[in-house]
Amino acid sequence: MQVDASLAREAVKRGEADIVYMFPIYEKKVKEGKIVYKVRLVCNGKTQNPTIDTSAWTPSREELYILLHIAAHMNYEVVHIDEKRAFLTTDKTDPREVYARLRGNSNFYLIIKALYGLKSSPADYQNMVKNRFADQGYKRLGMCKCIFIKREGNNVTLIYDYVDDFIFVGTSREYIQTQIDMLCSVASTTTPVWNELPLLGMDMKRNRAEKTIGLTMESKIVSLYQLMQSLHPDRKLDKRRCTPMACANYKVKDEEHRDGDKASVMLNREGIQEYMTLVGGLVWIMGIRFDITFVTTYLTWFTKNPRQHHLECVYQCIQYLYTTKYIPLVLGGEKPIEILGYSDASLGTGPKCRSVLSQVVRLQSDSGAIHAKTKASSMVYMNVFEAELDGCSVVVKDV
């Protein structure tokens, strides 16, 4: 809403309002199976000083995996929808006024909606979603603030809320459709996509006969491999690299790198930038490909001073992923759900002689993990028993 420029400047001078500048963001997305080119005005929220709590909950991947495991095991339906222009349909609740300006334009505009880029917008939208679902009979889970549940007779619906993406899981397609219709009556959404769908960067496929759901990140792996190839066109794909990391490539201490060895040379500025970009892609993929958890953790230890050796490890891991991009994380199954935790420790093999602790949690002995992590311990252990005991205590907390 345009306002008088002199009044806006006076309010800012008195410290009663803030000014933010707007700029366009261009993006290319896939919506409902079609490539869509979008542009939206976003503000630089760094200059906003909100007077309200701006914290907003973000759901974890573990919560999503648990929900999909239950859906596969119980043969529940899964559907995904996305709310259009989500923030712009939400009122800005912070009483402190914020004015928007465009570069090269003398006009001032009073922000009245939860504009993209404002510090308060995520909390405003999330509170609106919470109230909307409460009006429709849903309850917010106490320990999972982004999951809502509703029971009516024998029907159950769970909603996983990832900002403006909503994943419905429920007992029957007909009942879920009624819940989607309720949401569509108060919000503009994309067309619902059922059961086999691209899901938050992942691809999902169901096997009804075996009561399983398979998740892959094939498109992300291909993109990362193509990025590596664009940086090194002469590098050929070595299909013999069938492990995430070569057995002889584990070097933690500086003295393990020999002078004069090409692989021991420190990377220059461009090499470090490439290393950080590729490792960042591996960190994202690691969320579903737990088989690269250890090597990715290993590579993050050397982001400050990587060597050519570490960059070669990155290349091997990406090639391994590319040749195994079809392997899914399989959730669900016919066996009863039970929480199983596993831990292991490797004495003195981390940085500064610290131990390396690993944990895995799954909901069935035959299904894929819903949680896996590897990290260096916070202290140096004197024997294997201490390291194993610490790893066991960590996995008990994870369970």
The DSSP annotation for 232-272 comes to: -TTPPP-TT--SSS-TT----SGGGSPTT-GGGSBP-HHHH
Give dist(CA 315, CA 6) in Å, integer: 58
Q: Answer yes or no: do 166 and 290 share one domain.
A: no
Q: Is residue 205 part of a domain?
A: no
Q: For position 32, what pLDDT does the model report? A: 62
Domain extent, residue 359, equals: 335-398
Q: Answer yes or no: do 310 and 342 share one domain.
A: no
Q: Is residue 286 part of a domain?
A: yes
Q: Is residue 238 part of a domain?
A: yes
Reported as a single tens digit per residue, the pLDDT across 231-259 is: 888 888 777 667 898 877 788 888 788 87
Q: Answer yes or no: do 151 and 34 share one domain.
A: yes
> What is the torsional sign of CA 300, 62, 292, 224?
negative
Give dist(CA 302, CA 313) in Å, integer: 12
Report pTM. Answer: 0.87
Q: For position 399, what pLDDT does the model report? A: 92
Q: For position 258, what pLDDT does the model report? A: 80
Q: For position 241, what pLDDT does the model report? A: 66
Residue found by looking up tokens 């569509």 in the block: 184
Q: Answer yes or no: do 340 and 319 share one domain.
A: no
Give dist(CA 396, CA 257) in Å, integer: 37
Q: Answer yes or no: do 299 and 352 share one domain.
A: no
Q: Answer yes or no: do 165 and 119 share one domain.
A: yes
Q: Are 271 and 315 in contact (CB under 8 A)?
A: no
Among residues 272, 294, 323, which one ends one of the domains?
323
- Give the count of beta carbons closer than 10 Å to the beta carbon of residue 170: 25
Q: Answer yes or no: do 103 and 237 share one domain.
A: no
Q: Is residue 208 part of a domain?
A: no
Q: Is residue 380 part of a domain?
A: yes
Q: Is residue 212 part of a domain?
A: no
Q: Is residue 329 part of a domain?
A: no
Give dist(CA 80, CA 167) in Å, integer: 5
Contacts 24+ apart (CB under 8 A), 1-5: 1/109, 1/110, 1/112, 2/107, 2/108, 2/109, 2/110, 3/99, 3/108, 3/109, 3/110, 4/108, 5/106, 5/107, 5/108
Q: For position 33, what pLDDT does the model report? A: 66
Q: For position 31, what pLDDT does the model report? A: 67
Q: For position 14, what pLDDT does the model report? A: 87
Q: Are 200 and 162 in contact (CB under 8 A)?
A: yes
Q: Answer yes or no: do 48 and 181 share one domain.
A: yes
Among residues 289, 323, 357, which one ends one of the domains?
323
Q: Answer yes or no: do 89 and 193 share one domain.
A: yes
Please identify every stretch of the chain with a pLDDT value under 70, giving residue numbers as ranges.
Answer: 30-33, 240-241
Q: Answer yes or no: do 116 and 44 share one domain.
A: yes
Among residues 323, 349, 379, which one ends one of the domains?
323
User: H helices then E strands: how many in the chain?
Assistant: 9, 18
Strand partners, 162: 165
Q: Is residue 328 part of a domain?
A: no
Look at the chain and report how many structural domains it folds into: 3
Q: Answer yes or no: do 313 and 339 share one domain.
A: no
Instruction: Output Rg (C-alpha) for the chain, integer angstroms.
Output: 25
Q: Answer yes or no: do 262 and 119 share one domain.
A: no
